[in-house]
Structure 1
Amino acid sequence: MNSLLSRCLSQTSSKLRFALWLALIGITLMTGCMLWQNGAKVQSDILAMLPKVNESPMTQRAMAQVEQQLANRVYLGFVSDSQQAAIDAAKLTMKSLQRDNASAFVDISSADMAQAEALNSYYFKHRFQLLTEKQQRLLQQGQWQQLTQAALEKLYNAFSYANSSLLSHDPLLLYPDSLMALAPSQQLTVKQGVLLATVAPSASEPQPRFAAIVMAKGSDSAFNPKAQQSQLAALQTAFHSVNQQDADIEIIKAGALFHAAAATENAKQEVSSIGLLSLIGVITLVWLAFRSFMPLTIAVITVSTSLLFAVVMTTLLFGELHLLTLVFGTSLIGISIDYCFHYYCERLHHPSDSSEKVIQKIFAAITLALVTSVIAYSAIGIAPFPGMQQVAVFCASGLVGAYLTLLLAYPTLAARPLKEANTALNLASQYQAFMLNRALPTKPVTRLLLAVCSIGFIGIGISQLTANDDIRQLQHTPSDIQAEEDQLRTLLSGGTDNQFLLVTATSEERLLQQLTALEPILERAEQDKLLGNHLSLSRFLPSQQTQEQHYQLQAQIYLEHLDEIIATLGLDPDIKATLIAQYRDAHNKFITADSFLGHQAGVSFKPLWLSPQSDEDQGYGAIVLLGGIKQLDALAQLFAANSQVQLVDKVGDISTVMGHYRQLTLGLLALALLVAGIIFTFRFGAKLAAIVVAVPALSALLTLACLGITHNPLTLFHALALILVFGIGVDYSLFFAESKQQTRGVMMAVFMSAVSTLLAFGLLAFSQTPAINAFGLTLLLGISFTFLLSPFIQIFTRKSVNAN
């Protein structure tokens, strides 16, 4: 088939091929312009590239609602030695954000006083169904007199909230305590409508300080570049106002916005720096090798065409480009230019050959190289990461663009002959002769010892390999941002984590009973320091069973001992009839999920409740938010025996999926090696095909051994990079296998290709993002080993290393 394609190309004029290439460039450019005009964008949301986890519909709904509730929220702390100064800074910030013309934030608040009033408005009419644990225990023991005595003490307390209106409806003042019990215990206080926390003394700050807390929700996703800029600008304006008012205020921040902004800035810097340095390195390499502007110009055209095809095809298929794709994609510069290197090195070796003849000579090798590289990238695309799928499409389509440029444009653009460059060719020849004659031992015993040492090195290294599939490798967070977030989370008693509990049941009542039974377990977990805090609807939605129990217990007050209570408290006896009527009228008027969540008091809790969405769907669910988790595994064990309580850990679930696909990717690598070996058998025969495949296979094993010995835990990104070690490294083997006796030009091309690839991927190894670092480091090691091993193929393809 290669010969057929080669004949078709040779029968087509260079002018027609060049016209076809220009048409392809024009169509690609127009397609790209249309895509960007129609809303294509660069995506920086790290969640957009995570794999999809197969969960039940109820679990998926729960995760969506938790994300919707917690997403895009920012938390601000204004720390000062003066309590009033902190409060003033918080108020000024809220005013600044509220009058922001761009409306970057909504739901800007500190202490929600309206929420407290709404809770009071809703629960007062249900006071006969409410009791605190202490009140319930006393009434169960028939000790209503103690409640009467407690009410007397409140009546004579100068700071008591008791008044005649409240006493006429609640003579023992039970309701205020029930209302206060709804609020979860926390270290925060409220002054002047602002949440205040006390910052504990430290070595640098020996005196306690005060932190005023402000919360806001972004009007759009923090990962949307435009919304991100708008939100950061609004915050910057507010902070500037605060600093003008009080320069001593310390501002601490937490929220996805600040992580996303740091990731965006980091990715932009790496795209520009890595891409620029890679391009400069490649240009320098071409100039040093050929000492001519023409190869340099052709190299730039090849790389530019490759990147154009990559960007447009990826945007066409996905509708957007992820920043991580661009960071990984910068390595395409070092791969796509390989075609240029092989063309010009072959031309140097045969200066009298025409451009057409040179292309015919390398056609089989570059076609096989393209096929194996696309197979390698396709293996990456199987991973369930939209970001990795984009990388696969980006690089594969970019290589196709470079391949087409070579076949269609080079006969016209690169037709001019090159100046002699025997120095570079001679150096390549000398290096190859050194590797074959001196680097490789000649004595059988020495060769055997080298083989044993290599096998031992591989065995020891791989035996020390560990795995780490944590998805947090995907994003690098600067230490100062993380420190601020940790400090603010401490002030907020742990804040809210990504993990939560999903409680399910077949009916509303059973679900509420489950939540009630769960409460003491969670409280014990907080006491045991497994958990910082939790938020459950059990506080606000007691089961009907519990409400009925509370109602019946209060019969002691309103039906059995009301006369004694009124007399003891010195109340007007005329209120007796009204109290009894109110008590009887409240029978069977329960607090329900629909009535509570439909009231202003329950609007903010609505995301924590999952009711059936259709007549066929009979299940109910409730979400319990968790914060300050200290020991996740120990916490999970508390609910392991209860099938109706599920600890939903999206981070853990995705990490598990990553581990699965890490193993699958390594399996795909083995399969790719097998398939490549079968394909190469038809071209080279079984023996040489096995040797060609053995070079990248041995390189992969040596790379894994190095990772193990240096204690770099194996991740999915190492595995994906090993696929590329095969896809790129097998090209070197192919060119040596195809070259037969003519190896001087191939050695120079492989050298330049390896150096350019190492420039690209070696720079990725210096990325601050662990995932990119792992990818680059693996390629750096793998390609280095492949470059060192591939020349030895000539032992099997030529009779003498000096034949050329």
Structure 2
Amino acid sequence: MPFYRKPIWAWLYLLLILCVAVALLCSWLQQNRLDTDLTSLLPAEEQNIQAQQLAKVRMNQRMNRDMVVLLSSDSPDKTLAAAHMLQKKWQDSGVFEAVTGKIEPDVTALRANIQRLRLAVVSENSWRHIMNQPREAFARQAQALVNPFAERSVLPAEQDWLGLGNIVIHQASQDGPVFYNIQTGWLNIDDGDTTWVLLRARLPEKAGLINVPDGLLALIDDTQAILAQQKVQVLMAGGAIFAAENKSIGERESQYMSILGMGLTFLLLLLLFRSLRILYLLLPLVVGVLFGMAATVALCGHIHILTLVVGTSLMGVLLDFPLHWLASGVIQQQWQRWQALHMASKAFLLSLIITLLGYAALLITPLPILQQTAIFSAAALISAFLFSLLCLPVFFTTTQARIHPRALRAMLVLGNMIIRCRQVMVQKRWPLLLVLLLLAGGLFRLDTHDDIRQWVNLSPEWLAQAQKISVLTQTMPAGQYFVLQADNDDELLTKSHALGQSLQTLVAQKQLTGFQSLDQWITPLSIQKQRQQDIGHLLANADNWQDLTRLGIPEHSIQDYLSGLQQQPVQTISQSLDNDLATAWQDLYLGKMANGQVAALVSLSGVSHVAALQKLADNNNGIYFVNDLQALNQLFTHARNQAIALKATSYLLAIVLLAYVFGWRKGWLLLAVPVLSSLFCLAIFAYAGWPLSLFAIFGLFLVTAIGMDYAIYVSISQMAVAERLAGVLLAATTTMISFAILGFSVTPAIASFGRSVAFGVFFSMILALALLPGANNKGV
């Protein structure tokens, strides 16, 4: 008696299912194991230096934690009221760490910071202009004292006789389109006749793409609805918005695709079998999903939302073995469940081993999302197979139903049509040649370009808003930037300044819209010390401030000011960044690395010519150009090629197993089913204009397993032709239903996976049935 007929094994397996369910529930209650991090989709990168790793983290934080909001309306008062409402609503929501809108600066702290930074942050051009024409600088201050309409400094007059305070303020504002409205206290942007009010919001440190706050999307939708009622135009941009939307879509698709796939599958089976007993097939599905989730959480610590979407679509594959087994029961007059189970399990076990070999090969790919899906799928297939083998026969002592006669006739007609087509191709040859030409033409046109944009859904609405904000603020964050490394701060700033001059040339040539670097904010210590000496030269010539003394300003007041300025302590990069004025540059300084060197990054915006930027890199001199998008695409290409190599390896392993069981000649014939199915699927992708993404290739791994399963099943000579025909058609139909639904997903990676499997299964079904010796009423 086979082991699977002994009740003890069924009871032990049921106990194992209970233990796994309890363990998964306890683990989920302790911590939410559902991962919505879009970066989990990406391959792991190996950075050459520590500075590049830290730079990548900083750039991701900039783009993913921060959100920008612009408001405008036909009335300034209405716009300001809406801005007040939005700032309070978002701050009170608890979603954000901080929401910056109306600025109410601490004047005392602001003055102290300006005084501390006077020598350090004034640009070299401004400083040289003052030193070359000091009398003009003092004269401007004298005119400001008597002109009530002149621009006032934040500092008292006696603390700013050279006007350095205003220069520091302008330096901090970067002289961009965003300006501080001193009357309202808000940041504004003028766009022709429209004035926008700008707000910034920052998510908590652990938020962003990694952990999107649950209430973010609902808060955004509610805010947009309120502003629409008030007739206030709003623009929003931030990486977290895309992450929140994809999280919502993924969760929604996981639910409705699972329900729709399962509903259509069992509706079809109920119509065909005309018996509620067929609903027992839900049990191996539930067990498969349970073990798949448990294995993924146990090995990876979490399960990605896309893994869950793909995994729940496996229901058609999980039903393959039970349907192969039951197919004979709805055709034969006297059905022997154990005999049928024995024949079906031998064939399915071989295809299962080949499938698991393919999944095992995927574990060495650099893509965590593919590794997760491989773990989930393998665990689900094994557990569902064991449940069908050990427990399902208890519920099917007899099928108590025969397949609908019309359905059976349709199956036989289809089988005979396929076999006649095979005979025509073999006899006349030209139809076969035509098919091969179409196949070759498709493969020649195949697009194998990999791009991150093929992975996730990017809403056109949010993209349009982000692009408009980029134009208005003149900042278009790019996935390209420079990382600089030097022995000390002064050398770092010198490198940054030299690179900035080259970048400024590219800006003039419109190959770049702008850049941001530390040397735009802080000057080297050597220059600060030189400026102390410059002040000494000013002190030696009292003629420089004659315009002020004529107004009655005591000479000692000016001398005390200059002496204090001369004794101003120099500021290191870290010290100069430790204040609110330096907010725009704080993320650029990476600090001291493990090798003792200091590092910084230079951010770029509006990159249009990457090649020109690459030429500016000098790795030997500590100037590294980082192109995240290009690096990712290169990794995708590497991973795709690796996956193709693994697939070819799995074919070699498969032919060895098939030759051992069936002999070389039949082994090659059986292997031709999944191979040709994959090639036909690739041709469909080419003619449809769909790019061959990594997820499509992963789908072909599944096609290989399914095609092998069908080919092996139709080769069981002990079963009647009608039984084999019914088994393959039922299994293929249920599988195509679930994966065809995935093909309509708005997430490109999921849609690509679903299409590749759906078309692959269709061709596997056709090619496998073509191996049948004949489809007639024999055995019915």
TM-score by length of 1: 0.88
Q: Distance in 1 between matches of 2:56 and 2:23?
A: 37
Match of 1:3 in 2: none
2:483 aligned residue (498, 502, 527)? 502
SS of aligned partner of 2:715: helix
1:25 matched residue in structure 2: 17
Q: Which residue number in structure 1 is paired with residue 512 of structure 2?
A: 531
Match of 2:687 in 1: 709
Structure 1: distance between partners of 2:727 and 2:628 = 47
- Is 1:474 aligned with 2:452? no
Letter in 2 for 1:32: L
For 2:234 and 2:152, locate their aligned partners in 1 and report how far apart those are by CA, in whole Å.
40
Report deviation, 1:136. 4.5
State the 1:516 CA deviation: 1.9
Q: 1:176 aligns with which of 146, 154, 166?
A: 166
Decide whether aligned partners of structure 1 residues 349 and 540 sit closer, same or farther in structure 2, where only a CA change above 3 A counts: same
1:105 counterpart residue number: 96
What are the Cα deviations for residues 362-409 of structure 1, in whole angstroms up to 9, with x where unaligned? 121011121122223333333323222221122211111210111101
Matched to 1:772, the amino acid is I
Work out the CA distance in 2 between the residues paired with 1:400 and 1:443.
39
**SS in structure 1 of the partner of residue 675 of structure 2:** helix
**DSSP 3-state at the match of 1:712:** coil
1:435 aligns with 2:415: no
Which residue number corresponds to residue 205 of structure 1? none
Measure the CA separation in 1 of the matches of 2:157 and 2:208: 53
What pairs up with 1:1-80 in 2 under 5 angstroms?
Answer: 8-9=2-3, 12-13=5-6, 15-55=7-47, 56-80=49-73
Task: Give the equivalent residue in structure 2 for 1:693.
Answer: 671
Aligned counterpart, 1:190: 180
Q: Is the 8 A contact 2:39 2:209 kept in 1?
A: no
> One-letter code of the match for 1:108?
V
Counterpart selection for 1:367 from 329, 345, 349: 349
Inter-partner Cα distance in structure 2 for 1:27 and 1:619: 53
**What RMSD in Å do the two structures reach over aligned CA positions?**
3.1
Whichever residue aligns with residue 22 of structure 1, its letter is L
Indicate yes or no: 2:75 matched with 1:82. Answer: yes
CA deviation after TM superposition for structure 1 residue 745, in Å: 0.8
Q: CA 1:135 to 1:369, structure 2 compared with 1: closer, same or farther past 3 Å?
A: closer
Give the paired residue count: 773
Q: Give the aligned partner of residue 575 of structure 2.
A: 595
Task: Determine if contact 1:112/1:193 at 8 Å carries over to the other structure.
Answer: yes
Following the alignment from structure 1 to structure 2, what is the Cα–Cα distance between the partners of residues 153 and 132? 23
The CA deviation at 1:337 is 0.7
Equivalent in the alignment of 2:249: 266
The match for 2:264 among 277, 281, 304 is 281
After TM superposition, the structure 1 = structure 2 runs for residues 224-263 of structure 1, keeping only pairs within 5 Å, are 228-232=213-217, 247-263=230-246
Distance 1:473 1:87 in 2: 40
Q: Which amino acid aligns with 2:725?
A: M
* CA shift for structure 1 position 116: 8.5
Give how far 1:690 is off: 0.9
Query: Is 1:305 aligned with 2:305?
Result: no
Q: After the TM superposition, which residues 137-536 of structure 1 pair with which residues of structure 2 at under 5 Å, given as runs? A: 137-138=128-129, 142-147=132-137, 150-151=140-141, 154-155=144-145, 157-161=147-151, 168-191=158-181, 192-200=184-192, 208-219=193-204, 222=207, 228-232=213-217, 247-294=230-277, 296-421=278-403, 423=405, 424-441=407-424, 444=427, 446-447=428-429, 449-536=430-517
| Aligned equivalent of 1:541 | 522
Question: Once the two structures are superposed, what CA deviation does each residue of 1:87-119 show, in whole Å capped at 9, x if it has no partner?
Answer: 222123223333x2x522222113655389756
Q: Show the 5 A alignment for 1:535-684.
A: 535-559=516-540, 561-566=541-546, 570=550, 571-575=553-557, 577-579=559-561, 581-582=563-564, 584-586=566-568, 589-598=569-578, 601-602=581-582, 605-612=585-592, 617-639=595-617, 643-684=621-662
Q: 1:744-798 CA distances to partner (integer Å, 9 max, x unpaired)?
A: 2111111111111111111111111111111112122221111111123346xx9
Report if aligned partners of 2:539, 2:562 keep a CA contact under 8 Å in 1. yes
Gap change, CA 1:495 and 1:95, over 3 Å in 2: farther
Match for 1:756: what amino acid? T
Give the C-alpha shift of residue 491 in structure 1: 2.3
Q: Would you say the 8 A contact 2:63–2:239 is kept in 1? A: no
CA distance in 2, matches of 1:470, 1:281: 34
Aligned to 1:4: none
Q: Could you list the runs of 5+ residues in structure 1 that have no partner in the other structure?
A: 1-6, 201-207
CA deviations 1:430-480 (Å, max 9, x no partner) are 432332234531664x22x23432332222222212223211322212222
Q: Is the 8 A contact 1:71 1:256 kept in 2?
A: yes
Instruction: State whether residues 347 and 353 of structure 1, in contact with CA within 8 Å, keep that contact through their aligned partners in structure 2.
Output: yes
2: CA distance, partners of 1:386 / 1:418? 46
- SS, match of residue 105 in structure 2: helix
SS at match of 2:213: helix
- Picking from 758, 778, 788, the partner of 2:766 is 788
SS in 1 for 2:401: coil
> 1:106, 1:638 → 2: CA distance?
38
Offset at 1:670?
0.9
Range 420-429 or range 277-286, more displaced: 420-429
Distance 1:761 1:625 in 2: 42
Instruction: Report the TM-score when normalising by structure 2.
Output: 0.91
Unaligned runs of 5+ in 2: none
CA deviations 1:510-555 (Å, max 9, x no partner) are 1111122222233333333333333322122211233244444444
Distance 2:602 2:107 in 1: 21
2:31 partner amino acid: G
